[in-house]
C-alpha cells in the first residue's frame, strides 16, 4: 500500500451557541478524554502505516494545542475550506518530495482510528482522481446506535459521506475554482440545484439517483475520475458539527471511562 501525505484542515470558528456549550470557539479544540480533537486526529494519522507527512491548516491557538512531533507543518488558515487545502498542497509541492496523492482528513472526527484510515485507503483504486468514503445507514447505526445523522436516499439505500478523501494533488489544484463554487453554494438548495442541473435533482427527489449517477455528475463538473468507496468505516462519518453530535460523543467517552478495566 502506498504511503500518503496527509492534510488536516482545522480552520473556522464555531457558532456562539455551540462555543458556549464546548467552552472553545474552534472545533479542532473541542476536548474528549482531556485531548483536543485535533490531537486525537493527528495521533490516529501518525499511527497509520499508510500515512507519511502531515500538514495542518489552522489558527495560532490550534497550532499551540498540537503536541510536538504530531504535525510536520502548521499553516495559517485561508479564506475557505478549499483554500486551506490548496495551501497545504502547495506546501507539499514546494518540498523536495511532491506527493502524487494526498489524504485529506477533517479535524473533527473523535472516533478516528489508525485501522479506519487503513481500511479506507486500502479500498481506493489507483485510477481515482478523487475518492470519498461512502457509509451505509445500516453500518453507521450499527456502530452509533440512536445517533441522529443525515443520510441521502439513493437507489442502493440511504448513505452518507465520510470526512476523509484521497485526491491527486494536481487534480485538486486544477479543480479549485469548481470546488470553491460548490463550497460557496453548499448551503443553498437553489444554488446547488443550479450547479448540478434539474435532471440530476429530479432523480434525487424521486429516489432514482444511484451512486453511479453521482460519480458521473462529479466527473462532469470537475473533469476528473471520482470514486465513491463503498462499505467505508463508519468512524469516518461521525463528525462534530452540532451540539447534539458533541453530546453523543461525550456520552460514548464517558461510558468508556466508567467501565472497569479488565
Cα end-to-end span (Å), the chain: 35
H/E segment holding residue 179: helix 176-185
Q: What is the pLDDT of residue 182?
A: 65
Q: What is the pLDDT of residue 51?
A: 97
Burial class from Cβ neighbours inside 10 Å (0-12, 13-18, 19+) for residue 52 reads middle
User: Which of the residues in the chain have pLDDT under 50?
Assistant: 186, 189
Q: What is the pLDDT of residue 177?
A: 73
Buried b (16+ CB within 10 A) or exposed e, 76-104: ebbebbbbbbbbbbebbeeeeeebebbbb
Strand partners, 158: 153
Span 125-174, pLDDT tens digits:
999 999 999 999 999 999 999 998 888 888 899 998 899 999 998 888 88
Q: Taking Cα atoms as reference points, which of 131, 138, 186 lies closest to residue 162?
A: 131
Spell out the domains of the chain, with CATH numbers in brackets: 4-255 (3.90.550.10)
Q: What is the pLDDT of residue 204?
A: 64
Q: What is the pLDDT of residue 242?
A: 92
Torsion, Cα of 252, 256, 258, 262 (10° steps): 160
Amino acid at each position: 500500500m502506498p504511503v500518503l501525505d496527509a492534510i488536516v484542515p482545522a480552520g473556522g470558528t464555531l457558532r456562539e451557541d455551540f462555543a458556549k456549550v464546548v467552552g472553545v470557539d474552534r472545533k479542532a479544540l473541542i476536548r474528549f478524554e482531556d485531548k483536543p480533537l485535533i490531537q486525537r486526529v493527528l495521533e490516529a494519522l501518525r499511527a497509520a502505516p499508510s500515512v507519511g507527512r502531515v500538514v495542518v491548516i489552522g489558527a495560532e491557538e490550534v497550532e499551540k494545542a498540537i503536541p510536538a512531533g504530531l504535525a510536520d507543518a502548521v499553516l495559517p488558515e485561508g479564506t475557505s475550506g478549499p483554500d486551506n487545502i490548496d495551501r497545504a498542497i502547495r506546501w507539499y509541492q514546494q518540498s523536495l518530495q511532491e506527493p502524487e496523492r494526498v489524504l485529506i482528513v477533517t479535524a473533527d472526527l473523535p472516533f478516528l482510528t489508525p485501522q479506519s484510515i487503513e481500511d479506507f485507503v486500502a479500498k481506493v483504486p489507483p485510477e481515482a482522481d478523487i475518492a470519498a468514503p461512502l457509509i451505509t445507514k445500516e453500518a453507521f447505526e450499527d456502530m452509533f446506535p440512536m445517533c441522529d445523522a443525515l443520510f441521502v436516499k439513493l437507489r442502493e439505500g440511504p448513505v452518507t459521506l465520510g470526512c476523509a478523501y484521497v485526491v491527486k494533488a494536481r487534480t485538486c489544484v486544477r479543480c479549485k475554482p469548481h470546488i470553491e463554487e460548490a463550497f460557496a453554494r453548499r448551503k443553498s438548495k437553489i444554488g446547488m440545484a443550479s450547479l448540478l442541473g434539474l435532471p440530476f435533482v429530479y432523480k434525487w427527489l424521486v429516489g432514482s439517483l444511484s451512486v453511479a449517477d453521482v460519480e458521473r455528475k462529479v466527473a462532469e463538473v470537475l473533469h476528473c475520475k471520482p470514486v465513491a468507496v463503498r462499505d467505508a468505516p463508519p468512524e469516518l462519518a461521525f463528525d462534530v458539527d452540532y451540539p447534539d453530535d458533541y453530546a453523543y460523543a461525550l456520552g460514548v467517552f464517558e461510558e468508556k471511562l466508567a467501565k472497569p478495566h479488565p
